[in-house]
Chain A
């Protein structure tokens, strides 16, 4: 059974650019959640996708957007990057939206200069 994978591992962008981060969910999982973890802080929920539709959203501006594909993999897109977007971005997958455990990927470290 393959776990949650994320790409790339590290990324450096400049302010104003756009970035796309990718996540492959664990086999059999149809729900993907994205979190932003600033240095020294706990993760913050960005949004969740369930069967290709956004199912919930945290307190993040519209320039944070996402997609989920028929194979349940997902992308996180961030437009007009700001310095404060520098963080570890975590993806978590689970089977359905319910009480099932969320399994996390290793994260993508984004640095905005």
Chain B
């Protein structure tokens, strides 16, 4: 079974600064997807960025980028020019690329990192 670990329960960043959230995972599969989701206090989970394991290039979405290290099974999220609206819980998630298994396309989530942004 796959596991996802987020070792930072809380992180704090000054507005306009850069912060990196850590995530490690364990899997025996070679093809999979990794995601970062944001969950504001309003509770609705929003996809921030995704990475396909077969792609060596790190994904980037505006101020959000990842550092994907497949051999180390590490998938960190970098938020540049942090804004007050970035304050939320951030979850790292894993999904197998295999469809014909008993778990459908389930997401396996880490425990989350609470990001606080200081004005």
Contacts and interface: CB of A to CB of B under 8 A. Distances in A.
A68 to B, nearest CB: 12
A33 B99 contact: no
Contact of A102 (B6, B101, B107): B107
Contact of A45 (B37, B97, B107, B112): B107
Interface residues of A, number: 30
Interface in B89-118: 91, 93, 97, 99, 101-112
A42 interface: yes
The binding surface of chain B is classed by DSSP as: loop
Interface string B42-67: 11111100101000000000000000
A58 B105 contact: no
A56 B105 contact: yes
The binding surface of chain A is classed by DSSP as: strand
Contacts of A41: 111-112
Nearest to B104: A56
Interface string A35-76: 100001111110110100001111000000000000000000
5 contacts: A31-B104, A42-B93, A42-B111, A45-B107, A103-B47
